[in-house]
């Protein structure tokens, strides 16, 4: 018994479908992946860091976007919806719809059990191909733990923070955010 060949979508087909859909989907090399809902912890952390970034960058030329801004991650072959994106200067849009950006400076992903390995692996490999990207931040939602990648002179440097009393220093933006602020109102901080 033979199976039908799987349909490979073009980027144009994906964008047309995604723009009309009631839910978000990501696109990788012809395949479309529907995004599931996020946990309350995930949403709270993403909102916390987006809010802290927005407050600290208020008087700069940087914009902070959360969850609904599509990123064109690799030529016309990969599209993602990061949890938080910072673009400084003029956003570079894919087309006149102005709903897809290709020049993020900082990307933040909140790790979930289902996506943590992908966020660290293949997704980061796609993000690294963005010339504009300088920092990639992964925030655990189950414990006070942040993984931080900074590109300096073409080399990605890795650090991590496990101390809830510590701060996430984002050198590209010249700011620091206390982990207590990132994890504000999460129950495990009260343990």
Is residue 15 in a domain?
no
Is residue 84 in a domain?
yes
Task: Kindly report, residue by residue over 58-69, the tens digit of the pLDDT.
Answer: 999 999 998 889
Is residue 5 in a domain?
no
Is residue 111 in a domain?
yes
From CA 2, how far away is CA 4, in angstroms rounded?
A: 7
If DSSP codes are grouped into helix, strand and coil, which group holds residue 187? helix
| 1 pLDDT above the threshold of 80 | no
pTM assigned to the model: 0.93
If DSSP codes are grouped into helix, strand and coil, which group holds residue 78? strand
Q: Which domain holds residue 55?
A: 37-190
Question: What are the two backbone dihedrals, phi and then psi, of residue 98, each rounded to the nearest 5 degrees?
Answer: 55, 40
Is residue 7 in a domain?
no
- What is the bridge-based pairing of β-strands 135-140 and 106-111? parallel
Is residue 123 in a domain?
yes
Is residue 144 in a domain?
yes
- Looking up residue 54, the CATH number of its domain turns out to be 3.90.1570.10
Is residue 30 in a domain?
no
Q: With helix as H, strand as E and coil as C, how does 28-69 read?
A: ECCEEEECCCCCHHHHHHHHHHHHHHHHHCCCCCEEEEECCC
Q: What is the number of structural domains in the chain?
A: 1
Task: Kindly report, residue by residue over 47-99, the tens digit of the pLDDT.
Answer: 999 999 999 999 999 999 988 899 999 777 999 999 999 999 999 999 999 99
* String of DSSP letters for 81-120: --SEEEEESS--BSSTT--EES--SEEEEEE-TTTHHHHH
């Amino acid at each position: 018994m033979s199976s039908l060949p799987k349909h490979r979508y073009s980027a144009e087909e994906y964008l047309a479908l995604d723009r009309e859909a009631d839910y978000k989907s990501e696109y990788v090399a012809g395949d479309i992946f529907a995004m599931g809902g996020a946990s309350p912890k995930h949403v709270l952390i993403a909102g916390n860091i987006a809010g802290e970034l927005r407050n600290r960058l208020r008087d700069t030329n940087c914009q902070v976007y959360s969850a609904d801004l599509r990123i064109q991650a690799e030529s016309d072959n990969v599209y993602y919806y990061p949890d938080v994106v910072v673009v400084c200067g003029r956003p570079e849009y894919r087309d006149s719809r102005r709903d897809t950006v290709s020049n993020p400076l900082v990307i933040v992903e909140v790790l979930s059990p289902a996506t943590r390995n992908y966020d660290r692996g293949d997704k980061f490999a796609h993000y690294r191909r963005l010339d504009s990207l300088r920092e990639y931040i992964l925030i655990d939602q189950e414990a006070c733990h942040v993984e931080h990648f900074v590109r300096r002179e073409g080399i990605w440097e890795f650090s991590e923070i496990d101390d809830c009393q510590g701060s996430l220093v984002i050198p590209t933006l010249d700011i620091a955010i206390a982990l207590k602020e990132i994890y504000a109102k999460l129950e495990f901080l009260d343990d």
